[in-house]
Amino acid sequence: MPSVRVHADPAKAAVAVAGIIADLIRRGRPDGRKVVLGLATGSTPLPLYRELIRLHRQEGLSFSNVLTFNLDEYEGLAPDHPQSYRRYMDENLFSQIDLPREQTHVPDGTSDDSEAVCRAFERAISDAGGIDLQVLGLGRTGHIGFNEPPSPRESRTRRVVLDEMTRKDNSVFFGDLAAVPRAALTMGVSTILAARRIELLAFGAGKADIVRRSLSERPGPGCPATWLQEHPACTFHLDAASAAQSAS
């Protein structure tokens, strides 16, 4: 079962998770290879990225020995599209730390051959020696990355059709529901579960019901985040509002 940490507020949770990431980077990998981070987008990890930038600027945390893999990308959005996840990562983290661009990976949502993109993405993760720490958010459908229900345990990086609830939730960033892509490329459930440790962040009353379901329902494809119950080193970082429906 995931451990649950209820923080005083999202900013404190961000500091805690950034501290875990900084420790991992400073310790380095036992095999001497680059530390591999799995990263998430959405509004939830923004305070975490701000704290990592602060650690870089004020406490000398270097990302030069880090590789990153992002969970997902919208289909059809060019890397410089204002709502692409590549652009989000460039603006909110990569451009503000010492992480060379060639050490960052976001699936290419513009290729005609999405299967080849997904296969290459999986290969790159495995060539890097697997993900040391995966940051996750949580969608109200129970999605992790863009693994919408139903997403089987054994799913790998692939093209998925987005749930209408997800499109509606994300339309705030696009300004218009019609502008939200209908499909995306995402790491699969088993890609995520292969990470050595997972730090999930979910804040606010709007996430309370899906947090409760993720922690209490039997693992299954209908609520993909329930698969996290099968991971040996997963922590849910919550605030009082998102934890409100989960009995402790």
Residues within the interface to ligand GLP (CB under 6 A): 40-44, 71-72, 137-139, 145-146, 166, 170
Structure tokens at 179: 């502008």
Nearer to ligand GLP, 61 or 242 (CB): 242
Closest separation in Å from C-beta 30 to ligand GLP? 29
Q: Is 210 exposed, middle or buried (0-12, 13-18, 19+ CB in 10 A)?
A: buried
CB of 31 to ligand GLP, least distance (A): 28
Name, in order, each residue with C-beta under 8 angstroms of 221's C-beta and a sequence gap of 6 or more. Answer: 149, 150, 151, 152, 153
We find the least distance from the C-beta atom of residue 199 to ligand GLP, in angstroms, to be: 12
Closest approach of Cβ 43 to ligand GLP, in Å?
Answer: 4
Q: With the CA atoms of 138, 144, 150 and 156 taken in that order, what torsion angle do they form, in degrees rounded to the nearest 10?
A: 180
Closer CB to ligand GLP, 99 or 135, in the complex: 135
Region for 198 from its dihedrals, namely left if φ exceeds 0, alpha if ψ lies in -120 to 50, beta otherwise: beta
In contact, 135 and 237? CB cutoff 8 Å: no
CA 94, CA 110: separation in Å to the nearest integer?
21
Closer of 141 and 246 to ligand GLP (Cβ): 141
Paired residues of 238 in beta bridges = 6, 202
Q: Least distance in Å: CB of 115 to ligand GLP?
A: 20
Q: Which is nearer to ligand GLP, 139 or 188 (CB)?
A: 139
At residue 140, what is the residue type?
R
- Nearer to ligand GLP by Cβ, of 129 and 244: the residue is 244
